[in-house]
Amino acid sequence: MAVKLKLTRLGSKKHPFYRIVATNIENARDSRPLEFLGYYNPMVKPAEVKLDAEKIQQWLAKGAQPTETVRSILKDHMPKAEA
């Protein structure tokens, strides 16, 4: 089973809010994830990010691949992440 760390969109029209989740690569963007890992709110300045570093490290150790967007969020807000 291939796992990706990616964003799922929440919020209303023109006011996005994203959850960072671990999900099967074949699932749709907003399908049920395997686990919630944090959130990202781009609508406030500076962008609000909350991450569960321990869970993220566990998924990365198991071989989960982050998407490009999640990789940049991890790089900016989790300096010790091997993303």
Number of domains in the chain: 1
Q: Is residue 43 part of a domain?
A: yes
Which pLDDT value is given to residue 11? 92
Q: Which residues constitute the domain of residue 32?
A: 3-77
Q: Is residue 83 part of a domain?
A: no
CATH number at 42 reads 3.30.1320.10
Residue pLDDT, tens place only, 17-70: 999 999 998 888 788 899 999 999 999 999 899 999 999 999 999 999 999 999
Q: Is residue 56 part of a domain?
A: yes
pLDDT confidence tier of residue 81, bands split at 50, 70 and 90: very low
Q: Is residue 82 part of a domain?
A: no
Which pLDDT value is given to residue 28? 83
Rounded to whole angstroms, the Cα distance separating 8 from 28 reads 9
pLDDT confidence tier of residue 79, bands split at 50, 70 and 90: low
| Residues 4 and 65: beta-carbon distance below 8 Å | yes
Which pLDDT value is given to residue 80? 61
Q: Is residue 63 part of a domain?
A: yes
